[in-house]
Amino acid sequence: MTDDGLVVTAQLIIPRAELLFRASRAGGPGGQHVNTSSTRIELLWDVTHSTAITDDVRQRLLAKLAARLDASGMVRVVASDRRSQLQNRAAAEERLVDLVRQALVVPKKRRATRPTKASRERRLAEKKRQGERKRNRRRGYDE
């Protein structure tokens, strides 16, 4: 994290100006203090209008984070597990960075492979054994 933005990767830094923070009252630990202070943080980032990402990255994020987006294309991250607003703010930022970083991972292409001759023979031998086992069971009922 830098003062000007959240570092996701070396190529992607989300500017803090694009982040919207909302505070509200949270449940959990804190005793009477929790009833009077707004420590729960909701972090919103507009993926559809962000200037920090290219169009191809935007399409990837919109596809991968579709379940996390609201109707206007905002990603919402909530943190309420800490007692202070500052700690929850840092936790929400970290969660957003992790979420975006995971969405940017491009899975390796699967290379089609053929089963080896030995594995095919093992499979067929096992099928023969299984068939023989079932045939032996049948003979017990016929007699």
The answer to whether the beta carbons of residues 32 and 71 sit under 8 Å apart is no
Burial class (CB in 10 A: 0-12, 13-18, 19+), 67: exposed
30 pLDDT band (50/70/90 cuts)? low
Ranges of each domain in the chain: 5-104, 118-143
**Overall fold of domain 5-104:** Double Stranded RNA Binding Domain (3.30.160)
Q: Which pLDDT tens digit goes with each residue over 37-75?
A: 788 889 999 988 888 888 998 899 999 988 988 888 889
Mean pLDDT of the chain: 86
Q: What is the pTM of this model?
A: 0.70
132 pLDDT band (50/70/90 cuts)? very high
